[in-house]
């Protein structure tokens, strides 16, 4: 059997990475969800329906800074949302990505022209650099950052850059660039459940839970 780098990347390496990703994500979510919640002996301030609704509402309301803080954190949050949207567009609407996802899930959908995707990817990568700059230059964020933050940034950036190089045929033969791109995706999939990339699964539930808890606490008036 003649196996080249591309066959390895999209074959055994991808299978291994996808396996680690699925097992890791389920492991971490279950390990979190099955923890014992400390019993709250206080009488609820609101009805259960009300605090569940508040949880859902908080998921949206906490996704943008309160007007009081908007000057201080609005730009940073906008930067974060922008590159996330760029990432989603590139991942979900690029023809070869649709073909890849279609091979895994059996469904495909219309994509965007490659030139538009390339432009969005360049803007996204630039925004991503801006995010790193903000992390390094803001004292509080810098103090809160650790290896996890920087490695998660690095591996995501690597996937973007190798993808750009592969689509533009820059630096090496297409099959080599594509293999490196897929290998970087494999590394990202392996890292995903164990690093801060897991925020993809935690961020909205944690906002909902916080909202619900806060709606339950305190005295009813």
Site residues (CB under 8 A) for other proteins?
A: 1-4, 6-7, 10-12, 14-15, 18-31, 33-36, 94-100, 102-106, 108, 111-117, 169, 173-175, 178, 182
> What is the closest distance, in whole angstroms, from the C-beta atom of residue 195 to other proteins in the complex?
16
Q: Are 163 and 121 in contact (CB under 8 A)?
A: yes
CB of 118 vs other proteins, minimal distance in Å: 9
Two tokens, residue 2: 């003649």
Tell the smallest beta-carbon distance from residue 117 to other proteins (Å).
7
Nearer to other proteins, 51 or 192 (CB): 192
Task: Give the residue ranges of DSSP H helices in 41-138.
Answer: 48-61, 70-93, 95-105, 114-137
Count other C-beta atoms under 10 Å from residue 1's C-beta. 3
Count CA atoms within 13 Å of residue 141 on its CB side.
13
CB of 212 closer than 8 Å to CB of 61: no
Minimum CB separation of residue 197 from other proteins in Å reads: 16
Q: Measured from the CB atom, is 106 or 139 closer to other proteins?
A: 106
**Which is nearer to other proteins, 38 or 71 (by Cβ)?**
38
Q: Would you say 34 or 140 has its CB closer to other proteins?
A: 34
Q: Give whichever of 125 and 177 is closer to other proteins, judged by the CB atom.
A: 177
Rounded Cα–Cα distance for residues 63 and 203 (Å):
10
| Nearest alpha-carbon partner for 160 in 202, 191, 192, 120 | 120
Is the CB of residue 182 less than 8 Å from the CB of residue 134?
no
CB of 173 to other proteins, least distance (A): 8
Tell me, rounded to whole angstroms, the distance of Cα 45 from its chain centroid: 35
CA distance 85 to 91: 10
Select 169 or 199, whichever has its Cβ closest to other proteins. Answer: 169
CB of 85 to other proteins, least distance (A): 19
For residue 26, which of 196, 199, 201 has the smallest C-alpha distance? 201
């Amino acid at each position: 059997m003649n196996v080249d780098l591309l066959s390895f990347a999209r074959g055994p390496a991808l299978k291994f990475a996808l396996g680690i990703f699925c097992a890791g994500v389920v492991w971490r979510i279950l390990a979190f969800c099955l923890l014992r919640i400390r019993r709250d002996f206080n009488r609820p301030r609101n009805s259960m329906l009300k605090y569940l609704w508040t949880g859902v509402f908080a998921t949206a309301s906490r996704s943008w800074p309160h007007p009081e803080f908007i000057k201080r954190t609005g730009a940073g949050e906008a930067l974060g949302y922008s590159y996330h949207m760029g990432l989603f567009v590139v991942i979900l609407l690029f023809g070869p990505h649709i073909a890849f996802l279609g091979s895994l899930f059996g469904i495909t959908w219309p994509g965007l022209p490659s030139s538009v995707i390339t432009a969005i990817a360049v803007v996204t990568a630039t925004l991503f650099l801006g995010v790193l700059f903000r992390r390094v230059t803001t004292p509080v964020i810098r103090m809160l950052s650790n290896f996890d933050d920087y490695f998660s940034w690095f591996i995501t950036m690597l996937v973007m850059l190798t993808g750009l190089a592969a689509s533009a045929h820059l630096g090496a033969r297409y099959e080599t660039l594509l293999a490196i791109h897929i290998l970087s995706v494999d590394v990202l999939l392996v890292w995903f459940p164990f690093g801060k990339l897991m925020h993809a699964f935690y961020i909205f539930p944690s906002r909902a839970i916080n909202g619900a808890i806060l709606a339950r606490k305190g005295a009813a008036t």
